[in-house]
Amino acid sequence: MIKSKILKIYDFLEFSKIVLLKKIFGMNYIVKSLQSCRKSNIGKILSYYGANIGNNIHFKGHLSIDNYSSDKGFFNLYIDDNCYIGSEVYFDLANMIKIERDVVIGARVTITTHSDVGDRKMNIFYKRISSSVTIKEGAWLGVNSVILTGVVINRFSIVGAGSIVLKDTNEYTMVAGNPATFKKDIK
């Protein structure tokens, strides 16, 4: 009981320090903090800075976020109830990432919402694209999988470890590979 009170106090002090230092160092400090803070503070920090975070979200470890809004924070991130987010997951928030309830995201998964070569000669051939990504109810993203711009991972889909998903999945199916292709029905 005393240990749990001490941990709650420690969480509160760490969270307060992060909020205070953001005023000095800006949103970059918050993003760096998500890579080193206690996992019990990750959801609180995301929510405080604009993300819509549901109940019973388990963050296994550190989180990497890119392309957040310097004035609106993490407003492009929505995580519904009862989700598991593994260690070292990467969210590109140039556009909306919507994660519905009961989703499992394995360690080191990457979710991108845009593709852009920047101000370079290649932009003649590859224009910037940006589109939301949705991970629907009950989906499971395997370790090291990559979900690319505009993809919808449908209800109760499984994405195999190390897969690169270029297009929407069907409900109750498993996809795997590079590029990810249909492997089997799971219903």
Domain parsing of the chain, residue ranges: 51-185
Q: Where in the chain does DSSP place strands (E)?
A: 52-53, 58-59, 63-66, 77-79, 84-85, 89-92, 97-99, 104-105, 110-111, 114-115, 129-130, 133-135, 140-141, 146-147, 152-153, 158-159, 164-165, 173-176, 181-185
At residue 104, the pLDDT reads: 98
Confidence at 124, pLDDT banded by 50, 70, 90: confident
User: Is pLDDT of 187 > 90?
Assistant: no
Confidence at 4, pLDDT banded by 50, 70, 90: confident
Which CATH number is correct for 51-185, 2.160.10.10, 3.50.80.10, 2.170.190.11, 3.40.50.1370?
2.160.10.10
pTM of the model: 0.93
